[in-house]
Chain A
């Protein structure tokens, strides 16, 4: 691993050894656990959301479920986990322990109150007991109380008010954690900013149902005969997380550091969040699947990637994909291409033929004698679905065609039916772009 690579990152003035943090969840429940994660290489922690001891926190049982995709385990995890069920004092002692033994590893205290005074109380007490930053949990997806959890994340003025109160009460930086269970995250993020938030983290879990028992018809987890729409996490939600981080990073008016969360398991996943504008990333489900050890591969993989590209500081990568991110109306539609096949490497399974026939342009003929696909170039839609099913990496690739190349139109089954068509041409004037 290259020595001259600097993975450290400044996030709201707090320095992290690398961008990889535990998110607020079961993986950051105790000092014993967090200490081991630091030993493994995680740079910091968002400690499991503190509660004020005002209300008893009791976890449903069982509290999680998961979704497999064939033999691929944990495509998604479903949880009805609550905030920390430990006494506040215990959690504070744990934070003090970590500060004492791991002074170089920032502690971000996640807090959630149910009303203004409670938010302020928790914020102050966290600051007084060693927290380097706060993360305001506006996003827990299975709180039913109005004014708590994701209900706050969906009530923007409330969110602004709580942020503002917390900001007035503490000196340390404050992150607002967003729920993805809305349409445009820029709106609540701007409210948080107006309230004084120093950074935004996203996403919390996506409300979902990942499995339903077929014998009992109870959505999972089955809590003694009852299911609930609850929080989905894991690789399945990564595209959603990337969408929200990218769209906030593109918003010049927002302009605050972003912490990316959602389905990160590998250095590639982490890097993708960084490329769309996150400067730290947080992980839970990846750890639920593989344990803290995954950070070793995140550090090594990202360092080698950077070394291979001659990039020495990870901060140089933040937002690097944003200049290439457009609305679809910016695409150059006069440039077209098709697939190309490296048939020397073909093993003859014919999956490309099946999917092109049933889901694309019928652009492949099957040579049954030799068990090989034969591409009819002018019918190829360049949808690339053949390459998705091809078991040989890189066998099918994209190539641009010359500007005078024309794709053949889909044939009509029976042109004699033309005389039976009932049609009047559409003649009304309207906008040329798809403005709604």
Chain B
């Protein structure tokens, strides 16, 4: 199997028998804790009971009516710390506080049900709503934009989604690796949204002076801003020209936008370092590890326990052969004359007192600098709003980090008729929280335009 093939498809999900087996383990709790834990208000207790009672179409409807990206969330959600966290099937009791079993694999059941709908051709939204005259513009086609657009289309609004890139999806297309979430799966889910009547205008960045605000004058009654965070934070902003240095944003997009072979050629047989300790860093390093490098290093300035990545991701990375270089702070890049990357200059750290994030703060150790020879470095140290983003919506109040200020209960911004959600409001967050933002804003837009 070629490396490209490894990246084409995600692994298969549960089949019907396995899903039923898993549903049979569910205790069908009276007050199911799983159904309190979802940011997007998914109720696993309901869809698992429906599956158990052979009401499979009802189970699918329960998921999809609540979350048009139910499939994506089933695959991508960190379920271990959301719906699955308090699952009773762990069998914790006074007598056995550590529990005795594993939680129901809710994400996997959810994914199965959505794939089952596609396989069987079951349509949740088969009735067209009464059309409304208002037009709504959604800026950005990531999970927040898609969720908002779908909700509004279900209400009969005519919705246009503006996407800067060639294809819709945002982070779902350009920000995750295919072996975790493949295009075939996403196209199915996207199709569910298109069938609701949502119109997509790709290659249509809404930028320039007041670009976003102008939409209100161009015939749109409301605007939902969900452009995401596509500018990469960088260790050394002036290092952009170095050959071999990637931002996580650019690297992950390159794997999906036709530059796969180019990336592969850079990594195969070479030494790769990824800077960062979050889930994006894990996606970067795991994908690099699959491209037959000589060595892959994860460089993180704190220690293992402070890493924000999910614990299963961290374990997987170690099993994939990633070297964890903890307590090392990147300081500078080493290049040759032709600006080709040769190494990463690091300084050792020790952990001090907790900082504002509650995690122990790394302190540099004097005189401990050393150079890690490396051909490729991927910086996965956070995404941010593009420098000029505030020009696109100058009247919308933003924070000092250029995140849009929006009411968490409505998505309302400081400008009447403009709503916002997703990472541009929260900073980097989960797909499911973006979905939740889209739903919240859609509800508020419906109220704004008059129920």
**B28 and A351: CB pair below 8 A?**
yes
**Closest Cβ–Cβ distance, residue B244 to chain A (whole Å):** 52
Complex alpha-carbon distance, A351 and B92, angstroms: 16
Contact of A344 among B21, B29, B88, B93 (CB under 8 A): B93
Contact of B30 among A71, A345, A347, A350 (CB under 8 A): A350
Complex alpha-carbon distance, A205 and B127, angstroms: 48
A392 sits at the interface (CB 8 A): yes
Complex alpha-carbon distance, A368 and B33, angstroms: 11
Contact of A345 among B20, B23, B88, B95 (CB under 8 A): B95
Complex alpha-carbon distance, A348 and B93, angstroms: 8
Contact of A71 among B21, B28, B31, B94 (CB under 8 A): B21
Complex alpha-carbon distance, A392 and B93, angstroms: 10
Complex alpha-carbon distance, A349 and B33, angstroms: 9
Which residues of the partner chain B approach A353 to less than 8 Å between Cβ atoms? 30
CB contact under 8 A between A345 and B96, given known A70-B20, A391-B91: yes
Q: Categorize the interface residue count of chain A.
A: 10 to 19
Which residues of the partner chain A approach B96 to less than 8 Å between Cβ atoms? 345
Which residues of the partner chain B approach A344 to less than 8 Å between Cβ atoms? 93-95
Which residues of the partner chain A approach B52 to less than 8 Å between Cβ atoms? 70
**Closest Cβ–Cβ distance, residue A294 to chain B (whole Å):** 21
Which residues of the partner chain B approach A102 to less than 8 Å between Cβ atoms? none
**A349 and B28: CB pair below 8 A?**
yes
**B24 and A391: CB pair below 8 A?**
no
Question: What is the size, in residues, of chain B's interface with A at 8 Å between Cβ atoms?
Answer: 21
A40 sits at the interface (CB 8 A): no
Which residues of the partner chain A approach B30 to less than 8 Å between Cβ atoms? 349-351, 353-354, 366
**Closest Cβ–Cβ distance, residue B225 to chain A (whole Å):** 40
Complex alpha-carbon distance, A371 and B32, angstroms: 10
**Cβ proximity bits B12-38 to A, threshold 8 Å, 1 near / 0 not:** 000001001101100111110100000
**Cβ proximity bits A313-357 to B, threshold 8 Å, 1 near / 0 not:** 000000000000000000000000000000111111111011000
**Closest Cβ–Cβ distance, residue B99 to chain A (whole Å):** 9
**Closest Cβ–Cβ distance, residue A392 to chain B (whole Å):** 7
**A349 and B20: CB pair below 8 A?**
no
**Closest A residue, CB atoms, query B22:** A71
**Closest A residue, CB atoms, query B20:** A71
Complex alpha-carbon distance, A71 and B52, angstroms: 9
**Closest Cβ–Cβ distance, residue A6 to chain B (whole Å):** 39
Complex alpha-carbon distance, A115 and B71, angstroms: 65
**A68-109: which have CB < 8 Å to B?**
70-72
Known pairs A350-B31, A351-B30 / 6 extra A-B pairs, C-beta < 8 Å: A71-B17, A71-B23, A343-B94, A351-B29, A371-B33, A391-B91
List of 3 A-B pairs having minimum Cβ-Cβ separation, nearest first: A350-B30, A349-B27, A71-B21
A-B contacts, 8 listed (Cβ < 8 Å): A70-B20, A71-B20, A345-B94, A345-B96, A351-B28, A366-B30, A391-B27, A392-B93
